[in-house]
Structure 1
């Protein structure tokens, strides 16, 4: 094919693939103009308000909400997968030490690779749907154990072994702190995890699907997703939004601090979203979760939200800039005792289920995702100069 004919087959798309439909999905959707998103046929926020994490996990993996008996069996089955193989446990101190300056999310990339090798994960291309599903369950159940162990090892503490009698969220907090959490704190974290399980074709989900399209194993797909999440334009915002509250400090500083940043063209962390053109439904739910705890920190966050939205509306007329999920996620996680360096890893502990559902769906399609780029460098060919 000549270069001119090849060029004729190219399709120009917006930068970042914005608005480009790349496939069909049965997992869920984000309707940004409505301020609504769903998992399968159910409102994601309603699921977070009414169901357990394990029920929603079952929904994404099996396509339906479980009946009570089935749900209990699924929860018990996944809880039994939380304990790590001995060879993985033995490798974690070295992984944590090597990643001491990067934190547990970076360390988990290596740990997931070790887990996949130890569990004998095989390429998706070579295994049947049941085996693929089992591999995702094994990986998802292990992620909280990996994250909390790496965090504790990085602080010079011994990892806490998982408990099968606790829910996914309660066990995560238990392994992180060494103490069984109060029910209201476990439930608040559970609601956060459910609300962030999936959210359309974001960068990490798309990355997982691209790797899955090559037929690679589950661990490889998840490592890629974690790598995408580690970028500050995708993950990391909950702690940065909390840093904003700290920087403002007191109510009398809200207006001048926000005005100064907006007029300087800086982004106010925790405000605005790439998809939503109205209030982020996750932010609304987490605001109510925070209000159940109450206290000065929550009152201050609510006031910052109120004043920031008013100032943004004044200085950026015509743009809908509201709080996104990260703003109140940071407040809720702080109230539940999570250290800031574990905010984004906690997000990953929930999103791994959404990644896995997308991996399984992509594995059903034998077509590799392989776009092209338009070359804009120096004209070729040019004779190679003599050495």
Structure 2
């Protein structure tokens, strides 16, 4: 873009909705089509047919691995799961400090410590191979960090990672201390794959902004984790289940939803800034939940159906359809994850998508530096006179 154009202020919509800020090869969301993809493949098809390691390789390398490449990549990443001694020794104090705020708050600090201990250097100063190595190390460490922080916060000892288990199986193993059942592993793996990336969401964009400054990879990830922790972003799946608890029984669905909508409250699990149709992730996760079955699934389906009808009635023209949060929470609950681990589990998946975006952003030396329109009191105002004491 010519420099004259670049220096001309452009009014953008609130929240940058619909504004294209760069080009990417990582993936995209097509909201009007209920479709999103990683690289050149449907994300939902990948979640249903491939392993997490397959998709991780795809996000970093731009192509799916063959059998030999997958075996080598799986071994390489599994070997990175154990934490450096300095990080491991600091986790008990981080867990104690984060008892009220949870594992995500501890993850921010633990990631910073990991980057300092491992000597992560600014992206601007290192080559592509070193950037990839740093990204692999950080991604492999996140599941170990969040499960250890969770267990320590509950008075339990961390469970050391196993290199013979897949990413998803090892995550559940480190969380519970028991080798998980295969159907639960597959359900969680599909969820993890489905949340690896999702366009220029708030956390991904945050990570890319930091990467554009040339900062080290962990600095980018810490910023992304901070963005994901917000209840309007990654903090929502547990709140969607809290909604089901608050409704309680089928006979209360209509009155509960009507009261919340008419009072201006948000219905967690419904509405999305991009999708104008059903969220494809929700459709996939609903299918997984229905395969497992049970009263929670039946109730969630009832709530979804009535909420769709009531939102169409009370918010005509708003296209407030179900999003990923409700059935993500249902699937994680069915697989035995405590609710305080829903957002950390989201982190354990999204760290791969963040890293792929950070690596791509590091190829561009242009810093992201937008402008703002000042709307305060007109300057310059005379300074007030301070009376002598």
Band of TM-score, shorter chain: over 0.9
Deviations 1:118-176 (A, max 9, x none): 11100000000010001000000000000000011111111100000001011011001
Deviation at 1:30, TM superposition (A): 0.2
- Alignment correspondent of 1:117: 116
- Alignment correspondent of 1:84: 83
How far, CA to CA, are the matches of 1:42 and 1:84 in structure 2? 33
Matched, 1:59 2:88: no
Deviations 1:213-265 (A, max 9, x none): 00000110000000111111112110000011111111111111112212222
- Alignment correspondent of 2:94: 95
How far, CA to CA, are the matches of 1:248 and 1:95 in structure 2? 35
What secondary structure is seen at the aligned counterpart in 2 of 1:164? coil
How far, CA to CA, are the matches of 1:265 and 1:383 in structure 2? 43
Deviations 1:17-64 (A, max 9, x none): 111110000000000000000001100000000000000000000110
How far, CA to CA, are the matches of 2:167 and 2:63 in structure 1? 19
Deviation at 1:97, TM superposition (A): 1.3
What secondary structure is seen at the aligned counterpart in 2 of 1:33? helix
- Alignment correspondent of 1:356: 355
How far, CA to CA, are the matches of 2:336 and 2:64 in structure 1? 30
- Alignment correspondent of 2:32: 33
How far, CA to CA, are the matches of 1:306 and 1:219 in structure 2? 42
Which runs of 5 or more structure 2 residues have no equivalent in the other structure? none
Deviations 1:300-341 (A, max 9, x none): 111111111111112222232221100100000000000000
- Alignment correspondent of 1:170: 169
How far, CA to CA, are the matches of 2:227 and 2:242 in structure 1? 22
How far, CA to CA, are the matches of 2:380 and 2:267 in structure 1? 47
- Alignment correspondent of 1:281: 280
- Alignment correspondent of 2:329: 330
Of 263-272 and 191-200, the range deviating more from structure 2: 263-272
Runs (4 or more) in structure 1 with deviation over 3 Å come to none
RMSD, matched Cα: 1.3
- TM-score normalized by structure 1? 0.97
Aligned in 2, Cα 1:265/1:386: closer, same or farther, shift over 3 Å?
closer
- Alignment correspondent of 2:296: 297
Aligned in 2, Cα 1:90/1:378: closer, same or farther, shift over 3 Å?
same
How far, CA to CA, are the matches of 2:308 and 2:239 in structure 1? 18
- Alignment correspondent of 1:143: 142
> Size of the alignment, in residue pairs?
382
Deviations 1:53-99 (A, max 9, x none): 00000000011000011111101110000000001101111111112
Deviation at 1:382, TM superposition (A): 3.0
- Alignment correspondent of 2:189: 190
What secondary structure is seen at the aligned counterpart in 2 of 1:244? helix
What secondary structure is seen at the aligned counterpart in 1 of 2:33? coil
Q: What are the within-5 Å matches in structure 2 for residues 359-370 of structure 1?
A: 359-370=358-369
Deviation at 1:376, TM superposition (A): 2.2
Q: What are the within-5 Å matches in structure 2 for residues 299-314 of structure 1?
A: 299-314=298-313
How far, CA to CA, are the matches of 1:266 and 1:320 in structure 2? 16
- Alignment correspondent of 1:372: 371
How far, CA to CA, are the matches of 1:134 and 1:64 in structure 2? 18
